[in-house]
């Protein structure tokens, strides 16, 4: 199950992503926002991060205008490794090396075509499980 959330700036890209997830048969749960009224991105970054932290959802996807604010919010939650990716290579590498559990996107930065490729790479790439990467991830927890 993928947790997905956005602020008002990310809502139309979020809708495209949900359509894509449905098409490829990946289950998701939408944690809002649900319309284009101005809202505060930290709320939605935290909502998604919380359910991923609890293990209720395996991964998360969060979207705001730049992807920056909402990724900062998600990364404040212990155990969350949110990666802001605007290219496919980074999305693959952050799964392989960082075992990122949340993908952040900026709807005002990239178009939906590229965003869907990034989502696909993020979902389809497994963590490498190599010892050096496991050790570095442990170090992130302090």
Measure CA 123 to chain center. Answer: 10
Shortest distance, position 62 Cβ to ligand RB5, whole Å: 11
- Exposed (0-12), middle (13-18) or buried (19+): which is 50, by Cβ within 10 Å? middle
Cα atoms in the 13 Å half-sphere on the side-chain side of 113:
0
Is 133 a residue of the active site?
Answer: no
**Judged by CB under 6 A, how many residues of this single chain contact ligand RB5?**
8
Contact positions with ligand RB5 (CB under 6 A) in 63-102: 64-66, 68-69
Shortest distance, position 3 Cβ to ligand RB5, whole Å: 18
Shortest distance, position 120 Cβ to ligand RB5, whole Å: 23
- Spot the catalytic one: 85, 97, 124, 133: 97
Are the C-beta atoms of 5 and 54 separated by less than 8 Å? no
- Spot the catalytic one: 8, 64, 86, 124: 64
CA dihedral 99, 118, 105, 126 (to 10 degrees): -10
Element (H, E) at 11: helix 11-23
Shortest distance, position 31 Cβ to ligand RB5, whole Å: 16
What's the rounded Cα separation, in Å, for the pair 108 and 76? 23
Most distant pair of Cα atoms in the chain: their distance: 45
* CB closer to ligand RB5 out of 64 and 121: 64
Contact positions with ligand RB5 (CB under 6 A) in 17-56: 41
Is 64 a residue of the active site?
Answer: yes
Q: Which of 7, 47, 84, 119 binds ligand RB5 (CB under 6 A)?
A: 7
Which residues of the chain form contacts with ligand RB5 (CB under 6 A)?
7, 9, 41, 64-66, 68-69
> Which residues carry out catalysis?
64, 97
């Amino acid at each position: 199950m993928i947790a997905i959330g956005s602020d008002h700036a990310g809502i139309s890209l979020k809708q495209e992503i949900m359509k894509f997830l449905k098409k490829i048969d990946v289950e998701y749960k939408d944690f809002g926002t649900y319309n284009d009224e101005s809202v505060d991105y930290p709320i939605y970054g935290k909502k998604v991060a919380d359910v991923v932290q609890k293990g209720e959802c395996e991964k998360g996807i969060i979207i705001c205008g730049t992807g920056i604010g909402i990724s900062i919010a998600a990364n404040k939650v212990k155990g969350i490794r949110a990666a802001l990716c605007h290219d496919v290579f980074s999305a693959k590498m952050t799964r392989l090396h960082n075992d990122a559990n949340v993908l952040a996107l900026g709807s005002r930065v990239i178009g939906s075509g590229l965003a869907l490729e990034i989502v696909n790479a993020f979902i389809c790439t497994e963590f490498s499980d190599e010892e050096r990467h496991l050790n570095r991830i442990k170090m992130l927890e302090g």
